Chains A and B, each alone.
Chain A
């Protein structure tokens, strides 16, 4: 069974620090990777997508992908209390036989940024 693994946390960092969130996945055929943020009581919202090995930066967020190690990470620089949320890693299943893959979510890492 294809899996996406995350440390459930909680991960606690002081305001202004770098928060590092990690994710591993089992499907070697996966090519597309996503980070969603979910505030308590709210629905997930997409914050980053990454498709190629290396780093992708968007403002204070950097996504990192290493397909050989089947590893995805999200770095949040200058963390703010408003970043406190659960961060969900999602992996699009590899496409086999022309069928569209499913998007599989990890259970999420809860981040708490302390003022």
Chain B
């Protein structure tokens, strides 16, 4: 596809369940970011992958959050034992040669009941 693809677009889950969110970046983009945006709030950085370097996990809010990027392409963000405060839109973005020029996917809206 031409853009960043995220799935699912919407996810409703019960408190305590695990969820997986998927991101397929633009082909050839080496950098991949995950952000979280709560209603009416700014973008909260979660994790960043750049090529084969170790990811920058400094934004992950707790050890319930993890992410991996397989083969330098598709990334999965996993949230274990979800809590109501995890409800937000999770945005994935990728970039090619210039850091900071990000292309965002449409996001995955997570609702934890």
Contact = CB atoms under 8 A, between A and B. Distances in A.
A105 B108 CA distance: 19
Interface in B39-93: 41-43, 45, 48, 50, 53, 56, 58-59, 91
Contacts of B59: 102
A99 B58 CA distance: 13
B58 A102 contact: yes
B42 A103 contact: no
Nearest to B6: A43
Contact of A46 (B35, B42, B48, B101): B101
B72 to A, nearest CB: 15
A46 B3 CA distance: 14
Interface residues of A, number: 23
Report whether over half of chain A's contact residues are helix, strand or loop; otherwise say mixed: strand
Contact of A100 (B45, B58, B99, B104): B99
B98 to A, nearest CB: 8
Interface string A78-115: 00000000001010100000011111111110000000
A32 interface: yes
A106 B50 CA distance: 22
Given A32-B100, A45-B104, A46-B102, A105 B42 contact: yes
Contacts of A105: 35, 42-43, 45
B91 A100 contact: no
B42 A108 contact: yes
Interface of A: 32-34, 36, 42-46, 49, 88, 90, 92, 99-108
